[in-house]
Amino acid sequence: MKVNEIFFSIQGESASIGLPTIFVRFTGCNLRCTYCDTKYSYYEGESDTPEGILEKIRSYGIKRVCLTGGEPLIQPRTEMQRLLDLLAAENYEVSIETDGSIDISKFQLRGRQRFILDMKVPSSAMSNRMDFENLKRIVPERDEVKFVVGNREDYEWARNLMQQYELQPEKGYQLIFSPIFGDITYQELVSWLLEDRIDVRFQVQLHKIVWDPDLRGV
């Protein structure tokens, strides 16, 4: 496995927003989103083993981990599964932030583990690379689906996808709409959600408010 960085911070997104979290950022990504804010993770990193990563995670003394990237699921499947199994055995809460293009059914989650499926909108220039079958593979009440929106087209694309795949909150689906930082105002996105009576969670990238938006390792 190739790791870009491991650091301790607050979770800036997802259902765990604001909670202390250990981040394992893996090297490499199969997409090139226009608004990517972690381009440094495309190539930079050092090789490590699942056991070595676990040892570093243990050193922080917190039982909450986020596996991110880049795209964590392009790491060798057997090694990623090994890391997940090790974390489950020690009862870590684990979120896996994945870009929506990789079949999540290839990985078996246990215990307090969940996927955060970040479906790429049209302005990312990567929406045609999505594996839309993942929207049938997610587990309501466990996994989350996130749409990072930069304009009205992105918003309508996400709203239509929710309707097409019947991603309804009353069925237990956890849905997040978040603005692309610097591309759209918070007020614009909130007003659209309220006008359309869409029962989803609006969310900002909290870490970009607490720290400089360009700061790494936070």
Annotated binding-site residues for Mg(2+) read 38
Q: Shortest CA distance to 135 belongs to which of 157, 155, 154, 118?
A: 118
Detail the residues annotated as belonging to a binding site for S-adenosyl-L-methionine.
Answer: 35-37, 70
Detail the residues annotated as belonging to a binding site.
Answer: 10-12, 25, 29, 33, 35-38, 68, 70
CA 138, 71, 49: angle at the middle one, nearest 5? 105
Detail the residues annotated as belonging to a binding site for [4Fe-4S] cluster.
Answer: 29, 33, 36
> Which structure tokens are listed for 33?
């989103």
Distance from C-alpha of 42 to C-alpha of 70, rounded to nearest angstrom: 6
Residues sharing a CB contact under 8 Å with residue 81, sequence separation 6 or more, in sequence order: 107, 108
Detail the residues annotated as belonging to a binding site for substrate.
Answer: 10-12, 25, 68
Continuous segment of H or E residues that includes residue 157: helix 152-164
